[in-house]
Amino acid sequence: MWEQFVVARVQQPSCYPKRSSVCHPSWSDKEDGYTPPEFTHDSVILNAEDRATGGQWADVQNPSPSLLGKRKTFVGECRQDAVCIRDTSCAYDAKRQRYLFPGGRTGITGRGLLGRFGPNHAADPIVTRMRDGKLQVILIVRNDGSGLLAFPGGMVEVGATHTETLKAEFTQEACLPGGAVDRLFSQYEKRTVYRGPVDDWRTTDEAWIETVAVHFHAPDDIASSLDLEVTDKDEVIKVGWYDAAAVVDSMYASHGAWLRKVLLYMEEEELFRTRASGPSYPLARR
């Protein structure tokens, strides 16, 4: 599994210490002299659940192993439902009492910029339309120093579901709420494209993001009624429709891999629909 998680080993936000180099990513292989730096950003400490003054979106410094074991995970791409991490084969560091990133060694311990030890759950809406024979997708430019194109996703808040988060993030980061958004999310969901860990540059050995990425395809009347506007300007620089085939190779984290899947599904559907005449928009690059 570690082969898919290159970003988590070689990239990092500028506030992170340099990752130690990793020769053997897999936890089941020995890595002699592996002593990665430990880093947890101040914003994480200041927003811990036991601090009355912060946002309380982060774990306390030393949560109990039993609490961590009950955390839900989608480890293994095929899972439909999240399961308790203690019931999986996820690697565990008994000395530090922490579950370890399923994508292997990252060269940093602690939580970095992530609030939770273990999986930090997110949801990613992938909203597409057809325009001039091409598949277009709504993407944001992230305001996190990466400046990369991404789906308008975000973290699942305590008490919220992935489904609620998909729509909430879409309306905070990409589009004003309204009837078109309601119809899009209630009637035009096509499929869940991915469930599982993300190859995100914030990942550490002990904290990672797991997402559910869901594709919605807007028919013309819905697409033309979507009012694209960024509400959460702290997180997002801008939003727009982009030609999917043109951006698929230069997106944030694992987002390009999910968009490539969408391009392939849509291409298959188009081939099935048109049969002899073939696809009417560019094929995904493989």
Which residues, at least 6 apart from 80, have a Cβ–Cβ distance to it below 8 Å? 195
Q: How far apart are CA 33 and CA 17, in angstroms?
A: 18
Closest approach of ligand RP5 to the CB of residue 113, in Å: 8
Closest approach of ligand RP5 to the CB of residue 211, in Å: 4
Tell me which of 68, 100, 122, 245 binds ligand RP5, using CB under 6 A.
122
Residue with nearest beta carbon to ligand RP5 = 153
| 211 touching ligand RP5, by CB under 6 A | yes
What residue type is assigned to position 31 of the chain? E
List alpha helices for 111-229, DSSP H.
162-173, 179-187, 220-225
Nearest to 228 by CA among 284, 175, 173: 175
Closest approach of ligand RP5 to the CB of residue 253, in Å: 5
| 209 touching ligand RP5, by CB under 6 A | yes
- Minimum CB distance to ligand RP5 smaller for 244 or for 267: 244
Q: Which of residues 219-248 bind ligand RP5 (CB under 6 A)?
A: 235
Q: How far apart are CA 21 and CA 38, in angstroms?
A: 14
List alpha helices for 13-147, DSSP H.
42-46, 65-69
| 25 touching ligand RP5, by CB under 6 A | no
- Minimum CB distance to ligand RP5 smaller for 149 or for 253: 253
Show the binding pattern over residues 140-169: x = contacts ligand RP5 (CB under 6 A), - = does not: ----------xx-xxx--------------
For the record, the structure tokens of 135 come out as 């598949």
- Minimum CB distance to ligand RP5 smaller for 12 or for 211: 211
| 139 touching ligand RP5, by CB under 6 A | no
Burial (CB count within 10 angstroms: exposed 0-12, middle 13-18, buried 19+), residue 49: middle
Q: How far apart are CA 157 and CA 57, in angstroms?
A: 8
| 214 touching ligand RP5, by CB under 6 A | no
Number of residues that bind ligand RP5 (CB under 6 A): 13
Q: How far apart are CA 198 and CA 219, in angstroms?
A: 29
Q: Which residues bind ligand RP5 (CB under 6 A)?
A: 122, 124, 150-151, 153-155, 198, 200, 209, 211, 235, 253
